[in-house]
Amino acid sequence: MASQVLVTSNSEDRLNPMIPYIEKIAQPGRWWFAVAIFLSFFFMVGLALTRPDFNRQEIPDWKPVLALADASLGKGELYDARTSYSRAARLASWREDWGGLLAAACGMKLLDNASGSYFNVETILVRAMMAGESRQSRAGIAEVARAFSAIGKDDAASMALSRIQTDWPEEMQGSANVHIGGCW
């Protein structure tokens, strides 16, 4: 049988080579870096859990949210209507649905009609133009251009029409059941 050699080591001998590394980490000036890494990690985890783009959940349809916004507008609940139109625009944007974005922009236009400030409408229309372009939809870009013209932004309308490419298919590859009523 082989003889066993008992090796004893006290904890102080094992800790001595590690002390310089521990002192470097424990310096007060370096804690901010560790906290920043920690917080950014939790921010990314939270973002991944809340956004359907990142967590592979099915993106909800924008049409029920738009119906809720229209109902809120009919009741005179302007804050709820604006919130619902914004949510419908976000959902349609996630789906790359230019028709949903146009419908949400129409609702926002109805809310902003008295003030004449169409900043939110213009932002949603730019996003609708991007969605129409990504789907290569001639009809989508044409509808967005018509909407820009309706709010007096003829330069944006001509810019939108200039985005149509010659190699795009002729058929409509965009949104079905576009709900824009008599808005534009």
Report the pLDDT value the prediction gives residue 53, as an integer from 0 to 100.
63
pLDDT digit string (tens) for the chain, length 184 residues: 555 544 455 555 666 776 777 666 666 666 677 788 888 988 888 877 777 666 566 778 999 999 999 999 999 999 999 999 999 999 999 899 999 999 999 999 988 876 667 788 999 999 999 999 999 999 999 999 999 999 889 999 999 999 998 888 876 544 554 555 567 7
Report the pLDDT value the prediction gives residue 101, as an integer from 0 to 100.
95
- Report the topology of domain 63-162: 1.25.40
pLDDT digits (tens, 9 = 90+) for 72-107: 999 999 999 999 999 999 999 989 999 999 999 999
Each domain of the chain, given as residue ranges in start order, spans 12-55, 63-162
Report the pLDDT value the prediction gives residue 41, as an integer from 0 to 100.
87
Long-range contacts of 62-69 (CB under 8 A, 24+ apart): 62/88, 62/89, 62/91, 62/92, 62/95, 62/97, 62/100, 62/103, 62/104, 63/100, 63/177, 63/179, 65/91, 66/100, 66/103, 66/104, 66/107, 66/179, 69/104, 69/107
